[in-house]
């Protein structure tokens, strides 16, 4: 099974490791948007600083987990790394909600990242389900 996956990856110019280049770039853009939001946050509130730092950590970790997943040595490791990315994306939603609801950051500022976080979570859940289904075959 692993040999077949590796063969397909080598023959497909749109993949890098186990993930497509487009998806890797999407997660990198997501991390970049998180960084830009963090830099733009007002620094005059301790609550904003705390939530902002947590947002920065969890949001950029999503892309890091996906990079690790793309180089996974087994399907179990791949699923584990994707699971880690889901956890970090979900945590990112929490910090975005707290910034919006408790720190007075405008919904216009957080809305796109909240939506992208939810979309990434949905994609990753589907990837895990498909990988597990392929293991059962």
Residue 81 resides in a domain: yes
Domain extent, residue 30, equals 2-9+19-136
Domain harbouring 95, CATH code: 1.20.1440.60
* SS3 label, residue 110: helix
- 119 Cβ contact partners less than 8 Å away, ≥ 6 residues apart: none
3-state secondary structure of 1: coil
- Chunked in runs of 10, what are the mean pLDDT values of the chain (137 residues)? 49 73 97 98 95 98 97 95 98 98 96 98 97 85
Q: Is residue 97 part of a domain?
A: yes
Return left, alpha or beta for 55; rule: phi > 0 is left, psi -120 to 50 is alpha, else beta. Answer: alpha
Domain-located, residue 30:
yes
- Inter-CA distances, 17 with 26, 31, 38, 101, Å: 15, 19, 30, 39
Buried b (16+ CB within 10 A) or exposed e, 47-79: ebeebbebbbebbbbbbebbbbbbebeebeebb
- Is position 14 within any domain? no
Which tens digits make up the pLDDT trace of 56-75? 999 999 999 999 999 999 99
Give the total number of structural domains in the chain: 1
Q: For residue 89, is it within any domain?
A: yes
Tell me the C-alpha distance between 81 and 61, whole Å: 11
Note the pLDDT tens digit of each residue in 3-12. Answer: 554 544 444 5
Structural domain includes residue 111: yes
């Amino acid at each position: 099974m692993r040999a077949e996956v590796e063969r397909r990856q080598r023959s497909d110019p749109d993949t890098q490791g186990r993930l497509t280049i487009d998806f890797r770039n999407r997660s990198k853009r997501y991390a970049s948007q998180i960084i830009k939001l963090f830099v733009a946050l007002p620094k005059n509130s301790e609550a904003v600083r705390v939530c902002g730092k947590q947002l920065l950590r969890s949001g950029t970790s999503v892309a890091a987990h996906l990079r690790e997943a793309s180089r996974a040595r087994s399907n179990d490791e791949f699923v584990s790394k994707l699971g880690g990315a889901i956890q970090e994306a979900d945590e990112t939603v929490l910090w975005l909600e707290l910034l919006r609801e408790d720190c007075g950051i405008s919904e216009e500022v957080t809305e796109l990242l909240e939506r992208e976080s939810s979309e990434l979570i949905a994609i990753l859940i589907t990837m895990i389900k498909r990988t597990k289904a392929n293991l059962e075959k």
